[in-house]
A = this chain, B = another copy of it.
Amino acid sequence: MNEDHLIEELLKQVPLAQGTAGPGDDCAVVEREGGLLALLKTDAMVEGVHWSADTSPQRVGHKAVARVLSDFAAMGGRPGEFMITLVIPKKTALDWCTALYQGMGECLRTHGGLIVGGETSSSPEGSPAVISVAASGKVERDHLVLRSHATAGDAILVTGELGGSITGKHLDFSPRLGEARWLVEHFKPNAMMDLSDGLARDLPRLAKASNCGFQLRHDAIPCSDGCSTTQAMTDGEDYELLFTIGADRVNSLRKAWHRKFPDLALTVIGEMCAEHAGEQLEGGWDHFSDSIN
């Protein structure tokens, strides 16, 4: 089974909310009193999968909350309340836990988000530590961007450079909250998501949700130093924004972007097209396939 198939099977078993967007987008979107939309997100990290035992706990803590902040960014939203669940073997050092929360605290103070609760639970000796973050955010109805509203003819863009995240960026990345807020206010994308499992896996998800195909300009894909195009497409954990916008708006977006964010690349990497008309991609990260392709 792969991850998307597993989730599909599981969701058949439970009563689902009928919302603006549900399972499948970066966050769940729920209607609230007063016309506001709430964003709800849960995200877990596992020792040995998302970080290694010798990683500094501060960096692990940063990553745990920054991943969720990146999901709020992907919807055009802002962070609200956070709850942290920590599952650790009994013998875990208090210093490790404290440093973990220091890393979370610094990231939340920088980007927004407040802790309202959480839980600690013990796990059997030798188990990997698990950190699960649940958070609510909000977004004005006019600023909400889903991954399902791309249209044929849209330009496809990414922020930053892709690939090689494992050398450090997967721990230290900066969630693109400010950039996403600026985008939705000035050049609202038709569709957007954050790149967590690699362009080769995430772009097909965006295209499928939008009932579109896509055609990449492979030689335009911005690669991190020392990375091949294949690595840029499949390494995963880039936490950059992937979005589409009407092709006629690209030039003015580019000019305004470079004035506003001179240090962050913005690159057109392809075009959306009719469903089944574009190319197929394989690779990227899947938790339930047997290897990283």
Contacts and interface: CB of A to CB of B under 8 A. Distances in A.
Interface of A: 1, 3, 6-7, 9-11, 13-17, 19, 22-23, 27-28, 30, 32-34, 36, 40-46, 48-50, 81, 83-87, 90, 94, 97-98, 101-102, 104-105, 108-109, 113-124, 127-128, 130, 132, 134, 136, 287-288, 290
Given A17-B114, A85-B132, 11 more contacts: A7-B118, A15-B113, A16-B115, A16-B116, A42-B83, A44-B87, A49-B123, A83-B134, A120-B288, A127-B128, A136-B136
A121 B42 CA distance: 11
26 contacts: A7-B118, A9-B94, A14-B105, A15-B115, A16-B115, A17-B115, A23-B115, A23-B116, A28-B117, A32-B32, A40-B81, A40-B116, A41-B83, A42-B134, A43-B85, A46-B87, A48-B124, A49-B122, A83-B134, A85-B132, A90-B287, A120-B287, A120-B288, A127-B128, A130-B130, A132-B132
A10 B103 CA distance: 11
Contact of A108 (B15, B33, B41, B90): B15
Contacts of A7: 118, 120
B11 A41 contact: no
Contact of A13 (B23, B33, B102): B102
B97 A10 contact: yes
Nearest to A19: B116
Contacts of A16: 114-116
Given A6-B97, A128-B127, A290 B116 contact: no
Contacts of A101: 10-11, 13-14
A105 B13 CA distance: 6
Contacts of A105: 13-15
Interface centre among A7, A10, A28, A115 (most CB of B within 10 A): A10
B290 A90 contact: yes
Nearest to A117: B28
Contacts of A36: 33
Given A9-B98, A13-B101, A42 B132 contact: yes
Contacts of A104: 13-14
Contact of A33 (B1, B33, B40): B33
Contact of A46 (B9, B43, B121): B121
A129 B120 CA distance: 16
